[in-house]
Amino acid sequence: MRLRKIKGADETVAASPYVIHPASEGPLPWKKLFANERPLHIEIGTGKGRFLMELAKANPSANYIGIERYTSVLIKAIRKMEAQPLPNLFFLCMDAANLEQYFAPGDVERIYLNFSDPWPKDRHARRRLTSETYLKRYDAVLAPLGQLEFKTDNEALFDFSLESIRASGWKLLGCTRDLHRDTQMNEGNIMTEYEEKFSAQGNPIYKLIAAR
């Protein structure tokens, strides 16, 4: 993804009350932060935050953390939260490669990946958020019955993801190659910014749900 650096984004993210600023290394005290013990769902690669904001608004009985590595992108999600604060959503500015540093085993009930960067070159395959490398990281933080939900418009990335799920010994709980025409899988679907753009161009949306 081409990224335009926004002036002041680093400072805005560093000062935002909607962003978690870890005081030390080690698992986040997220139960204290949300002041409850409700299940924790995270999105990796939150982008401008629309999906997670709508989801958090519709599901006050869960806690949400949106992870995004670039401040110039996260600032857009922060602006949305400033306009409409939600008590059950925080953002975290970090590279998902560091997931295990901030979440303890069993912390996370659900992980959402939406329109993750495809990293098309073979030599970058391990950077894909559905690679076996990342599935190991998810395995380390997911609750025993935790689930992974992944949406994309990229068929090659989807096929790669199905293969890494199989190779990692995970189970496929749901799978569609045309989400918007699949009444069962599409029920309650919340569109992301990218999903709206790609489906408007006539691209089918692929979705899978997996668990260990």
Q: Which residues bind ligand SAM (CB under 6 A)?
A: 1, 44-47, 67-70, 73, 95-97, 114-117, 192-195
Question: Catalytic site residue 153?
Answer: no
Q: From the CB of 1, what's the least distance to ligand SAM, in Å? A: 5
Catalytic residue among 10, 95, 107, 117: 117
Q: From the CB of 4, what's the least distance to ligand SAM, in Å? A: 12
**Based on CB atoms, which residue is closest to ligand SAM, 34 or 198?**
198
Residue 151 DSSP one-character state = E
Residue 27 DSSP one-character state = S
By DSSP bridging, strand 63-68 and strand 89-93 are parallel
Q: From the CB of 36, what's the least distance to ligand SAM, in Å? A: 25
171-176: strand order across its sheet: 89-93, 63-68, 40-44, 108-114, 142-152, 206-211, 171-176
**Which residues sit opposite 174 in a β-bridge?**
209
Active site residues: 117
